Chains A and B, each alone.
Chain A
Amino acid sequence: MKGKKKTIALAVYFILLFLPIYWMLNMSLRTNADILSTLTLYPADPTWKNYIKIFTDSDWYSGFINSIIYVTINTMISLTVALPAAYAFSRYTFIGDKHIFFWLLSNRMAPAAVFLLPFFQLYSTIGLIDTYIAVALAHCLFNVPLAVWILEGFMSGIPREIDETAFIDGYSLPRFFVTIFIPLIRAGVGVTAFFCFMFSWVELLFARTLTVTSAKPIGAVMTRTISATGLDWGLMAAAGVLTIVPGALVIWFVRDYMAKGFALGRV
Chain B
Amino acid sequence: MEKWENNKAWFLVVPVLAFVAFSALIPLMTVVNYSVQDILAPGESVFVGTEWFKKVLHDYRLHDALWRQFLFSGLVLLIEMPLGILIALAMPKKGWGVSFSLVTLALPLLIPWNTIGSIWIIFTRPDIGLFGAAINSLGLAFDHTRRPLDAWITLMLMEVWHWTPLVALLAYAGLRAIPEMYYQAAKIDGASAWSTFRYIQLPKMRGVLTIALLLRFMDSFLIYAEPFVLTGGGPGDATTFLSIYLVKIATGQFDLGMASAFSLIYFLIVLLLCFVFYQVLQNVGKGARI
Contact = CB atoms under 8 A, between A and B. Distances in A.
Interface of A: 6-7, 9-10, 13-14, 16-21, 23-24, 27, 35-39, 41, 77, 81-82, 84-85, 87-95, 97, 100, 102, 104-115, 117-119, 121-122, 137-138, 140-141, 144-146, 148-150, 152-154, 156-157, 160, 185, 187-188, 190-191, 194-195, 198, 201-202, 204, 218-219, 222-223, 231, 233, 236-237, 239-240, 243-244, 246-248, 251-252, 255, 258-262, 264-265
A248 B106 contact: yes
Interface residues of B, number: 104
A145 B92 CA distance: 30
Interface string B180-215: 110000000000000000000000101110110011
Given A23-B123, A24-B119, A150-B208, A93 B177 contact: no
B9 interface: yes
A150 B93 contact: no
Nearest to A223: B114
Contact of A260 (B102, B107, B176, B247): B176
A92 B122 CA distance: 52
A110 B250 CA distance: 15
Interface majority SS on B: helix, strand, loop or mixed? helix
A2 to B, nearest CB: 8
24 contacts: A7-B92, A10-B87, A20-B123, A20-B131, A84-B15, A104-B16, A111-B222, A140-B23, A141-B23, A144-B19, A148-B16, A149-B214, A153-B210, A154-B177, A185-B177, A188-B177, A202-B110, A204-B113, A219-B112, A222-B115, A246-B110, A258-B173, A260-B176, A264-B181
B114 A92 contact: no
A252 B133 CA distance: 34
Nearest to B89: A6
B109 interface: yes
A114 B104 CA distance: 35
